Amino acid sequence: MEFRETRRRSILKTIIWRMIAILNSYVILVSTTTDDALLNALFMNLTGFIIYYFYERVSNQISYGKIEVEE
């Protein structure tokens, strides 16, 4: 069974992801103990990568905005 996302679902997922990414950036920048911008950027991207993986796994379990496509 294949699904396609509605535009509303895609927009909602994008908005939610950006809010999570901004929160991740804020937490990393506030809590880092280093003044090295490169290390902060690497840590932000590493945590963002991990958070995004779980975000996608969770969002795939939600049926809102999914339309079944006939094969």
- The answer to whether position 58 is within a domain reads yes
- The answer to whether position 29 is within a domain reads no
- The answer to whether position 28 is within a domain reads no
Radius of gyration from C-alpha coordinates of the chain: 16
Confidence of residue 57 (pLDDT cuts 50, 70, 90): very high
- The answer to whether position 27 is within a domain reads no
pTM over 0.75: yes
- The answer to whether position 52 is within a domain reads yes
In angstroms, the Cα distances linking 55 to 3, 12, 38, 67, 70 are 18, 13, 25, 20, 27
Task: Determine the average pLDDT of the residues in 40-65.
Answer: 94
State what percent of residues in the chain have pLDDT above 90.
72
Measured distance between the N- and C-terminal CA atoms of the chain, rounded to whole angstroms: 8
Decide: 60 and 3 in contact? Cβ < 8 Å: no
Domain total for the chain?
A: 1
Confidence of residue 36 (pLDDT cuts 50, 70, 90): confident
DSSP-assigned beta bridge partners for residue 68: 3
Task: Say what the pLDDT of residue 1 is.
Answer: 77
Residue-number span of the structural domain to which 44 is assigned? 2-20+35-69
